[in-house]
């Protein structure tokens, strides 16, 4: 089998067999196939796509390229959640303790943030002493004891995906639906969960800008899950504007704590209840979405979800005093307020610009080695559709020093908003659920 022939085959829009895909992924992982040939293959896939069978085979080949986590020692149906990424996406911090409080085991492997998208592990590590580097036995024991554990991905989990993504990132082939789907699902399969709920973001702050493309990605991932005997549900959610009001690690942890106390932003609460109800369905904890939603609402109102979060923090070595008194979190040195120059209604709030503004002042990474400043970020005071009066605070930038990045961040914030005289219909928060 020659790599040249397989590139040619896909370039000419023909199907690759499972044997051929396995050969390519194995050879690439073991560095027997050079980067330039896999880059050429990725470009051929970008233009010609892959069918569902090819995409499922690629997913499994990448999942099998490294470690696969065996969660069989954890009692019950294990359900994982994955978000395709967005701005102010604090769902995991709320969702994991919420679902665990309802009696469903959640063994969560999470990643770090890059660019304007935040990482769950970075957010949790902003809690002093919180440990995300758990060995396999501690990870499993924690789930068995308190129904939840959150850890960083192991170094050898889906190494083929890591190598392939780094090539896609520099060869303009990131936004290929088969490559996105196989990348996401390979990590979920290798993570060992029995079922998966996917939060597919749609809008300016997400990979998918168009609803048709988002639906296509969701349907492919659900079909991959079903082909590989993993019950999978995808929820299409809005990311035209940031979720919640906070962007930045400390600010988002505080918002998550407030949400778990049932005092958080309504949009973040709604997304978490919707995703969580679907997780309960997959875990066979309830027999209807409505019952799952109501059960989770109860866990918020009674304080059980917040208590579960405190259990997770304590179990993983975090300083509980910061969760019990969020005023202890480090604050930024300075704040700059964006105020409205006119009366009207907020008709545009670009999530991507908000995320970039936060990243510019240090809340995100431009390279994997960058150090994040946990205390900086953005707080939104107004959201899409809100009535605004001249002089109202629209957003606050939390920053440490005035420099070129600060100046650019301020401009990004200003460019995020559009205020007009006519009231508009609120955007949908949840577009569709695909099973």
Q: Alpha carbon of 240 to those of 212, 383, 423, 429: distances in Å?
A: 15, 11, 18, 10
393: tokens are 């605070």
Alpha-helical (H) ranges within 175-288 are 177-190, 211-227, 249-260, 266-282
Hey, how many other C-beta atoms are within 10 angstroms of the C-beta on 281?
Answer: 21
203: tokens are 């809008």
CA–chain centroid gap for 173, Å, is 20
Helix (H) or strand (E) segment spanning residue 152: strand 148-152
Q: Nearest-CA neighbor of 303 among 263, 261, 273, 264? A: 261
- Active-site residue, 381 included: no
Q: Which residue has the tokens 């866990």?
A: 299
Q: Which residue has the tokens 């006119």?
A: 342
- Active-site residue, 327 included: no
Which of 161, 199, 238, 267 is flagged as catalytic? 161
> Got the DSSP string for 369-425?
TPPP-TT-EEEES--TT-EE-TT-EEEEEEES--SHHHHHHHHHHHHHEEEESS--P
Q: In what order do the strands lie in the sheet with 430-434?
A: 79-83, 195-202, 231-238, 430-434
- Active-site residue, 183 included: yes
Which of 168, 245, 285, 350 is flagged as catalytic? 168
**Contact yes or no for 264/256 (Cβ under 8 A):** yes
Q: Nearest-CA neighbor of 377 among 393, 347, 356? A: 356
**Contact yes or no for 52/18 (Cβ under 8 A):** no
Which of 78, 112, 123, 187 is flagged as catalytic? 187
Q: Nearest-CA neighbor of 3 among 27, 17, 15? A: 27
**Contact yes or no for 324/133 (Cβ under 8 A):** no
257: tokens are 């704590």
- Active-site residue, 168 included: yes
Helix (H) or strand (E) segment spanning residue 349: strand 344-349
Q: Alpha carbon of 57 to those of 15, 198, 404: distances in Å?
A: 12, 20, 47
- Active-site residue, 22 included: no
Which of 126, 183, 186, 332 is flagged as catalytic? 183
Angle between helices 35-48 and 18-29 (to 10 degrees): 140
Which of 10, 82, 116, 188 is flagged as catalytic? 82
Which residues are catalytically annotated?
A: 82, 161, 168, 183, 187
């Amino acid at each position: 089998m020659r790599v040249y022939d397989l590139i040619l085959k896909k370039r000419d829009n023909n199907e690759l067999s499972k044997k051929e895909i396995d050969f390519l992924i194995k050879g690439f992982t073991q560095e027997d196939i050079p980067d330039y040939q896999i880059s050429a293959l990725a470009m051929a896939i970008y233009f010609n796509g892959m069918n569902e069978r090819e995409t499922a085979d690629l997913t499994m080949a990448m999942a099998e390229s490294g470690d696969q986590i065996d969660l069989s020692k954890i009692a019950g149906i294990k359900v994982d959640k994955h978000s395709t990424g967005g701005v102010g996406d604090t769902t995991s911090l709320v969702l994991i303790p919420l679902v665990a409080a309802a009696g469903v085991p959640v063994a969560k492997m999470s990643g770090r943030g890059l660019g304007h998208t935040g990482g769950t592990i970075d957010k949790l590590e902003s809690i002093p002493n919180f440990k995300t580097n758990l060995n396999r036995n501690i990870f499993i024991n924690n789930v068995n004891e308190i129904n939840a554990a959150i850890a960083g991905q192991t170094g050898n989990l889906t190494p083929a995906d890591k190598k392939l993504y780094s090539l896609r990132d520099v060869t303009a082939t990131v936004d290929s639906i088969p490559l996105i789907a196989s990348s996401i699902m390979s990590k979920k399969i290798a993570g060992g969960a029995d079922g998966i709920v996917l939060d597919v973001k749609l809008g300016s702050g997400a990979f998918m800008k168009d609803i048709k493309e988002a639906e296509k990605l969701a349907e492919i991932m659900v079909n991959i899950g079903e082909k590989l005997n993993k019950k999978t549900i995808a929820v299409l959610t809005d990311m035209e504007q940031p979720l919640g009001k906070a962007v930045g690690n400390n600010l988002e942890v505080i918002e998550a704590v407030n949400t778990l106390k049932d005092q958080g932003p309504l949009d973040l609460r709604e997304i978490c209840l919707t995703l969580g109800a679907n997780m309960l369905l997959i875990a066979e904890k309830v027999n209807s979405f409505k019952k799952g939603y109501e059960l989770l609402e109860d866990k918020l109102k009674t304080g059980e979800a917040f208590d579960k979060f405190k259990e997770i923090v304590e179990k993983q070595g975090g300083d509980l005093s910061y969760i019990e008194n969020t005023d202890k979190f480090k604050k930024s040195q300075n704040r700059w307020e964006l105020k409205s120059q006119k009366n009207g209604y907020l008709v545009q709030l670009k999530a991507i610009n908000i995320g970039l503004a936060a990243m510019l002042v240090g809340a995100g990474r431009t390279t994997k080695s960058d150090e994040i400043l946990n205390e900086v970020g953005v707080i939104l005071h107004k959201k899409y559709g809100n009535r605004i009066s001249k002089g109202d605070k629209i957003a606050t930038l939390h920053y440490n020093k005035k420099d070129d990045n600060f100046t650019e961040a301020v401009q990004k914030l200003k460019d995020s908003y559009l205020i007009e005289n006519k009231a508009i219909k609120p955007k949908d928060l949840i577009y569709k659920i695909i099973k």
